[in-house]
Amino acid sequence: MNRDMSYSKFSLDITICIVIILGFLGCTKVTEPITTNLSEITGTENTQTSIKSEVYHRPIILPTIADVVRTVEPGVVSISVDILSRGIFYDFTDEGSGTGMIVRPDGYIVTNYHVIQDARDIEVGLSNGSHYSAEIVGLDLLSDLAVIKIGADKLPTVVFTEADDIRTGDWVATIGNALGLKGGPTVTLGIISGLGRTIRTERGDLYDMIQTDAAINKGNSGGPLIDMDGKVIGINTAVYGGAQGVGFAVSSGVAKPIINSLIKKGKVIRPLIGLSGMTNTTELSDRFDLGTSEGILITQVAPEKPAYNAGLKAGDIITSLDDQETDDMAEFLTVLWSYTVGETVKVDYISDREPQSTIVTLVERPSP
């Protein structure tokens, strides 16, 4: 009897030890939710169903964030601006802050348009503690991007990745001069929570934006959104008011040609078609009896502009440009802005429920 009790006690002790060890191992390894493969299910009425399952534990492996940050941090700068504001009785100087990225070793820095808009003085702080005055090279309101320059060379630069390499759910980090706090940049971690977003700002609509839940605070504007290789996938731009964990960045695919144009020409030259429109939807189609829920619904045509001269009018629905489908405004503008001033474009559209086609010659869009 004593032997049986000792054996039971010994078995219980072994079981407890195993549970403790397994519990410890489970707490020290980050895993994805368990995936169950119902490879064999058998059962009959009034009998217990047996389920044979295979359980996979797939670890989520992240690089050390500090190492990732260290690769890009030398190319990230803080920006302080003095803005002259005009009051009713007197003028006064206001201060602002933001972030930028060095894109060329000879001192060219990209940031947000709204960071340096109306700035009287711009000061740039480098990661090594040195400070420089900066001058504006070019501004682009439509993308909320700007390029400034400091008098320095042999500077460390950031590296942009290709837009096609990013996916919803990928890990990302932000680096920036959050809230203008002293003592170095602020780093936050999150994921890409959406792609191809369109957001409305005080300066107009921004298209093809990256959405992230990594915290983007005031002062982060103009800083990098980076992947786990330390490459820039976007330029932090906006926080969605009234929502937590929703921030946006201009994708690298959109930003790179704009940055190059600002450096070379001081502005972005875009073609003008001369119309306003909106993405067609089922609701719009039903409400106005359009006969289709696809394409771009023209809401206004500017007199004596290319669209007007080609015979397009309000109420027409554009379905493609040079046989490239335009299902929403983001696609429409992406295709349109891929052309140069003076080029001709075949526009397929629906007018009074009848398919039509016309040729439009694009002109230069005036700077805003």
| Residues with a known catalytic role | 114, 144, 221
Q: Give the integer Cα–Cα distance in Å for 265 and 185.
A: 31
**Rounded to an integer, what distance in angstroms lies between the CA atom of residue 92 and that of residue 84?**
6
Closest CA to 256 of 208, 215, 218: 208
For residue 108, give the amino acid letter. Y
d(CA 337, CA 270): 6
Question: Going by DSSP bridges, is the β-strand pair 232-239/344-351 parallel, antiparallel, or unpaired?
Answer: unpaired
Q: What's the first-to-final CA gap in the chain, in angstroms?
A: 94
* HSE-CB for 235 with a 13 A CA cutoff: 32
Count of H helices and E strands in the chain?
7, 22
DSSP 334: H
Give yes or no for a contact between 50 and 43, defined as CB atoms under 8 angstroms apart.
yes
31, 60 Cβ separation under 8 angstroms? yes
Per-residue buried b or exposed e for 49-72, using 16+ beta carbons within 10 Å of the residue's own CB: eeeeeeeeeeeeeeeeeeebbeeb
Q: Which residues, in sequence order, are CB contacts of 181 under 8 Å at separation 6+?
A: 219
Alpha carbon distance 89, 215 (integer Å): 39
- Burial of residue 285 (number of CB atoms within 10 Å: 0-12, 13-18, 19+): middle
Scanning 35-161, the segments in alpha helix (DSSP H) are 65-72, 113-116
d(CA 194, CA 200): 16
CB atoms under 10 Å from CB of 31, counted, come to 11
